[in-house]
């Protein structure tokens, strides 16, 4: 589970990479769920929430609510 404090410290590019990885992982979990090979079905729910959190932060950057942190 991704915490919002972690997201605030990441750059926009890093957040986009994490989003892409999370979406790929969700696809794999859905296949496992369909084949009844998934040991914990709650992983799907938590991953979907993480994806929504990532998309929200990306949208905040797009709207100008959040500015990119320079490290």
Rounded to the nearest integer, the mean pLDDT of the chain is: 91
pLDDT at 71 (0 to 100):
54
Domain 4-63 = CATH 1.10.287.310: yes
Question: What six digits make up the tokens of 40?
Answer: 């914990």
Question: What six digits make up the tokens of 18?
Answer: 């994490």
Is pLDDT at 54 greater than 60 in this prediction? yes
Is pLDDT at 69 greater than 90 in this prediction? no
Give the residue extent of every domain in the chain.
4-63
pLDDT at 55 (0 to 100):
96
User: Phi/psi of residue 4, each to 5°?
Assistant: -65, -30
CB-based contacts of 38: which residues, under 8 Å, 6+ apart?
Answer: 29, 32, 44
Residues 45, 22: Cα–Cα separation, whole Å = 12
The confidence band for 9, taking pLDDT boundaries of 50, 70 and 90, is confident
pLDDT at 5 (0 to 100):
85
């Amino acid at each position: 589970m991704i915490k919002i404090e972690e997201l605030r410290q990441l750059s926009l590019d890093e957040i986009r990479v994490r989003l892409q990885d999370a979406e790929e992982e969700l696809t794999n979990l859905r296949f496992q769920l369909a084949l009844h090979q998934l040991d914990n079905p709650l992983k799907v729910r938590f991953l979907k929430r993480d994806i929504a959190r990532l998309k929200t932060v990306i949208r905040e950057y797009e709207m100008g609510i959040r500015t990119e942190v320079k490290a």
